[in-house]
Chain A
Amino acid sequence: MLTIQGLSYAYSDRFLFKNLSFHLNPGEVVKISGANGSGKTTLIKILTGILKNYEGKILLDESNNESLKNLSNEIFYMGHKNALKENLTVQENLQHDFRLINSDKKKLESYLEKLNLKEFLLTKISELSEGQKRKIILACCLASNSSIYLLDEPFINLDTESQEIIMEAIDSKILNGASIIFTSHDQNIKNSVELNLNDYKS
């Protein structure tokens, strides 16, 4: 489905990673790990098409697409930052969230309920904790019908109960053929293949 061939990225004349290659099939999970500053967020941004000045090839379904642009509606991107408007309420943010383009509204409501967010729908984002903000994006992620999920530190600031709910939902997405690439220092998703960026320094 997705093949990365000889991917290299340099920042200020220093290679963050060099000759990175891997393959991702439907229903597979790749965990990107590595030390701080090893390029985990950069790799996710390259795959989403945000960063373009890289070397190497990103092939999708055997055709060279340079990035996953042609499938931008099939991709769910969760960045390091939440892209939520602090002075709007949770509900207002969700009404204007472009991540929900390809998603199931009923599923979203159900995950908001499971993650204890329903009672905060009319609360401003600025009044929520970092963990609650992350859970809003994860609820969008779980409600999405995308086929590829690019998640940057998805489990950061989450409580154990929420992590369990999310892991369970992610497992069922994988069973249904979704592919996931995520970055994390400590958390893991069942059956994920680990790719340590420290091994691609030079």
Chain B
Amino acid sequence: MNFIKTFFSREILVYSKKSSNIISPIVFFLICITFFPLAVSNDPSQLSRFAPGIIWICILLSGMLSVQTIFKEDFDDGSLDLFYAKDFSILQIVLIKIIVNWLFSALPLIILSSSMVFLLYFPISNLLNLLSSLLIGTIIISFFGALAGALSLGKNSILASAIMLPLSLPVLILGSSASTYSSENIGFFLLLLLSLLFLTIPIISLACMGAIRLHYE
């Protein structure tokens, strides 16, 4: 039995059968992004200026809903015990779980944001910049969320938010800047985001492994 293939297909199946994993972040995102113009301003020029920040905040908060509980179910139902007993690679498990979580919770939000930006009078010329920054930034946020979830296993979700939000600040700043500035400067911010991504993947994956192991010490 190929462990990676079987585990990946099991995760896809679990996520696809649990509609709340997909629907909750989408509904939250839609509510957030609709309420901003009502609460802030309906002036197109003001909204257009704030749009990148608003979209990034909405995506960050919506994404937090599912990523923090990424390891909770496996911890509660004894699956993690089984993985340790079978001596499976926890690193592979961590990576697969983050990828599947991103596919089911962040990717739909990115797709949805490309159609919702018009509500905020976001300039179409900057749409590609926004989508590129979201694509890279949400992966980084998923890794930070996974670490928060791993550290707060068996504890309440406030701790996970308290860990995740400060970690996500640089991504929020770089991501919204990349979507705001003109195309000459976009490369710089995307490069910074990409560098952060390449730093995050190995460091946070190992940190997640360690954080999960802590619960078995």
Known A82-B77, A96-B9, A98-B1: A75·B216 in contact at CB below 8 Å: no
Chain B, 40-80, CB within 8 A of any chain A CB: 73, 76-79
Contact B81–A50 (Cβ < 8 Å): yes
CA distance A77 to B73 in the complex (A): 19
Residue from B3, B79, B82 whose CB has the most chain A CB atoms within 10 Å: B82
A interface residue count range (under 10 / 10 to 19 / 20 to 34 / 35 or more)? 20 to 34
- The reply on A26 being an interface residue by CB < 8 A is no
Within 8 A of A (CB), among B1-57: 1, 3, 6-7, 9-10, 13-14, 17-18
Contact string against B for A residues 85-116, beta-carbon threshold 8 Å, 1 for contact and 0 otherwise: 11110001000101111000000000000000
Q: Which of B72-101 contact A (CB under 8 A)?
A: 73, 76-79, 81-88
Q: How far is the CB of A155 from chain B (nearest CB, A)?
A: 17
Whether A96 pairs with B6 at a CB distance below 8 angstroms is: yes
- The answer, yes or no, to whether B217 is at the interface (CB within 8 Å) is yes
Instruction: Give the interface SS of chain A, mostly helix, strand, loop or mixed.
Output: loop
Q: How far is the CB of A156 from chain B (nearest CB, A)?
A: 14
Report chain B residues within 8 Å CB of A53.
217
Q: Chain B, 114-129, contact with A by CB distance < 8 Å: what is the 0/1 string?
A: 0000000000000000
**Interface set of A (CB-CB < 8 Å, partner B):** 45, 48-53, 69, 72-73, 75, 77, 79-88, 92, 96, 98-101
